[in-house]
Chain A
């Protein structure tokens, strides 16, 4: 048995393979709760508020999981925010509050998502356009098309559809169940299937992957379709909370940059080849805790932004410091 001296704990932390994002998650949660007890109203420890943190994380969480797929393959998707808007607006426009039209609307928006993902993937793999530029381009095209057709909240989803956003299964919000279900499926696909293994391979080194006989283009295209589908799911969740979709809800929610930030904070390398769904979720929840803590403590909006930026930088720096230590 080893003594639990401070030195020992420090040493273990230094040598452990636990990604820093989990330590950071715990640290931020503890610090937030303590600060809330001292300076705030001390309500944050309340289970309802803690559950709310998770519910707030669902929208970002789903799209960040999709973003994880493309980023492990060393790609990126900046079009997700506009695709979320397209999904929200199109689905409420098509449903018109009629439960009977829900399946049709859902099928249409998933169709649009698959098409956007396919186009993104094809531009990146066949036209060899850098992923950053390619998805920025498709995002702007979606934005233009949407703004030309709709200018405000349009249509509405039926009340039954809002169960997705507000319903509960016993004490547990349905949205949280949905997020975890998606996370488990995504994790399974990444770690247990050939597709997942090939994604890590391509992100690790595309030349190696190709020389090993992988059809790299196809895998990257599928990853982009997965990512776009996740944006569609986030769009459906958002519209079920808001009842109606408007063109600005995607970009206003900063889903593009925040999903990338959450994925990177969660330990996925921008250069690809490493990353995990659990890490991404931890990154998303860190953002959720911060938002809630800032609200509870009444932190100024601009200061909030400054603190979030600082935390993103800190998190990513902790990875490079660690890998440098491992290398030496």
Chain B
């Protein structure tokens, strides 16, 4: 490896005194940051702190009201993301922006297909794709002619990165690159980042996962309310310091206290020998007042377990008992009648009606239980007109009113509306799938507190999460899944390492697969 790639003192990109205002909000206020080649620079802050706005200004999606963007010492103006990309500044958004029904090569070079007289030169296209994949050391695992929808999420992310660097990027911006990845997929990404770093590319990423930030970043920039708090070296600070900078108050208590032995009541739901197309051998009990954390890698069946219990993808075998009675749940409608609730993983497509009001969103479960011709009044419910305001206060949602459309709320507030929807009927069993994904620190803490309160009031709770700290911090009991089955049950406060051993299938007696998993991690 040549030495010329080592970080120099010249920033490759710099923002100076950037200010950007939207109607009613100052999204960025006099922010100045320098980004150096071969450096991983994390940008952290609560939702609404201005991280995404800053990234979009740098990538040409927004134009700053005041201040300058400098690329290699020269002032630049990007009227369109395309221009930024051509000059070497690429951005990867949180949602994958790829076409599932097209090949890897077609995706990477969409809009820039090598061509002669308008005809796509497929040989040149394949060669160029191989070349880009080689730079990421992925030419053996990803074929240029593979259909995108046959790849795993992590592989798709590699394709997205390949697309970005195919512009000969000097600066690569990633908005929450790991949000959709499981732990060992994150490791693949980490190795990629190392490679890109060695090539002298300046990497900038936004993340809500502070552990990752500390593992990866050479510099951390903290934003708060549109202002720059500081740019620090992770060696000089610890997680607590950074959180302090982000929220301006010490969050020494991340999680509410666990349940006392006396808080846990009778078994509300139990499944024995449950199985369907995705799951096998499921034995599980949920008890009143207890939070059961479900951990596992992507594809381990953790979401499928939640869907099976809620009747979305029902169990085909096994005995499901609710309050001691044999009750097979065949559909979500039936589950709701049995006082079950399910806060889904994908809020946008499965949790909310974005263009309907807070009120209608909160009342949808109550209305599902009513007769078809039940009268709907303006306040939503006839017998209990205070229901909506009560729910709103209970979940502490911040909105201009209950008639506001939910799409205009922040992610955290949307999640609170989803929660309110399940609190509306008297829910006894609540299933959460990734309850705090993509939500800022403060909203996260308040949602954790709400989940604990629900348990205290006697609900049986199952919480699926890919974030190990969340599992360890919240669970009174932890179950770990691997390959569609439960590989073990751990007591509260077990270590992340213990969970990972079970999640990689080591205890399952199938050493071969487990070793493969471990190998791909090293």
Contacts and interface: CB of A to CB of B under 8 A. Distances in A.
A213 B101 contact: no
B85 interface: yes
6 contacts: A194-B113, A194-B119, A197-B106, A208-B110, A214-B110, A273-B102
B217 interface: no
B515 to A, nearest CB: 27
B119 A214 contact: no
Interface in B159-206: none
Interface stretch (B6-14, B92-100, B442-450, B475-483): B92-100
Interface stretch (A99-107, A199-207, A225-233, A280-288): A199-207
A200 B111 contact: no
Contacts of A194: 113, 115, 118-120
Interface string A185-205: 000000011111110110011
A5 interface: no
A204 B93 CA distance: 17
A274 interface: yes
A10 interface: no
A197 B97 contact: no
Contacts of A192: 119-120, 122
A170 B429 CA distance: 76
A82 to B, nearest CB: 32
Interface string B95-129: 00111111000100011110100111010000000
Contacts of A209: 99, 110-111
Contacts of B112: 212-213
B484 to A, nearest CB: 12
Nearest to A188: B119
B307 to A, nearest CB: 12
Given A194-B115, A207-B97, A211-B97, A201 B120 contact: no
B140 interface: no
Contact of B102 (A200, A213, A214, A328): A200
A201 B111 contact: yes
Contacts of B85: 213
A274 B101 contact: yes
A214 B82 CA distance: 10
Contacts, number: 64
B407 to A, nearest CB: 16
A210 B98 CA distance: 11
Given A194-B119, A201-B110, 17 more contacts: A192-B122, A194-B113, A194-B120, A197-B106, A197-B120, A198-B110, A201-B111, A205-B99, A209-B110, A212-B97, A212-B110, A212-B111, A213-B82, A213-B111, A214-B110, A273-B99, A273-B101
Contacts of A274: 101
Interface in B109-154: 110-113, 115, 118-120, 122
A328 B279 CA distance: 12
Contacts of A197: 106, 110, 113, 120
A151 to B, nearest CB: 45
A198 B97 contact: no
Interface in A293-328: 328
Specify which of A205, A209, A328 lies most central, judged by the most chain B CB atoms within 10 Å of its CB: A205
Interface string A121-158: 00000000000000000000000000000000000000
Interface of B: 81-82, 85, 93, 97-102, 106, 110-113, 115, 118-120, 122, 277-278
Most chain-B Cβ atoms within 10 A of its Cβ — which of A204, A209, A274, A328? A204
A328 B118 contact: no
A201 B99 contact: yes
Given A194-B113, A213-B111, A200 B118 contact: no
Interface residues of A, number: 21
A194 B125 CA distance: 12
Q: Which of A193, A194, A195 has the most CB of B within 10 A?
A: A194
B102 A201 contact: yes
Contacts of A205: 97-99
Task: Report which residue of B93, B98, B102 has the largest number of chain A beta carbons within 10 angstroms of its beta carbon.
Answer: B102
B314 to A, nearest CB: 14
Contact of A198 (B93, B101, B111): B111
Given A192-B119, A193-B119, A200 B101 contact: yes
B110 to A, nearest CB: 4
Nearest to A215: B111
A282 B81 CA distance: 42
A198 to B, nearest CB: 7
B99 A204 contact: yes
A209 B106 CA distance: 11
Rank and list the top 6 A-B pairs by shortest CB-CB distance, nearest first.
Answer: A204-B99, A213-B82, A213-B111, A212-B111, A212-B110, A208-B97
A185 B491 CA distance: 67
Contacts of B97: 205, 207-208, 211-212
A134 to B, nearest CB: 22
A273 to B, nearest CB: 5
Nearest to B313: A328
Nearest to B83: A213
Contacts of B118: 193-195
Interface in A237-289: 273-274
A214 B109 CA distance: 11
Which among B81, B82, B97, B111 has the greatest number of chain A C-beta atoms within 10 A? B111
Residue of A196, A207, A211 most packed against chain B (CB within 10 A)? A211
Contacts of A198: 110-111
Contacts of A328: 277-278
Nearest to A216: B111
Q: Which of A195, A201, A273 has the most CB of B within 10 A?
A: A201
Contacts of B100: 204, 273
Nearest to A200: B102
B160 to A, nearest CB: 10
B70 to A, nearest CB: 24
B299 to A, nearest CB: 12
A211 B120 contact: no
A169 B277 CA distance: 57
Contacts of B98: 205, 208
Nearest to A275: B101
B111 A214 contact: yes
Contacts of B277: 328
Given A192-B120, A213-B85, A214-B110, A208 B99 contact: yes
Nearest to B82: A213
A300 to B, nearest CB: 39
A211 B81 contact: yes
Contacts of B93: 211
A274 B110 CA distance: 16
A190 to B, nearest CB: 11
A204 B102 CA distance: 8
Nearest to A201: B110
Interface in A70-100: none
A260 to B, nearest CB: 20
Nearest to B122: A192
Nearest to A205: B99
B315 to A, nearest CB: 16
Task: Give the residue among B93, B99, B113, B122 with the most A Cβ atoms within 10 A.
Answer: B99
* Residue in B110, B115, B118 with the greatest tally of chain A CB atoms within 10 Å: B110
B120 A204 contact: no
B461 to A, nearest CB: 28
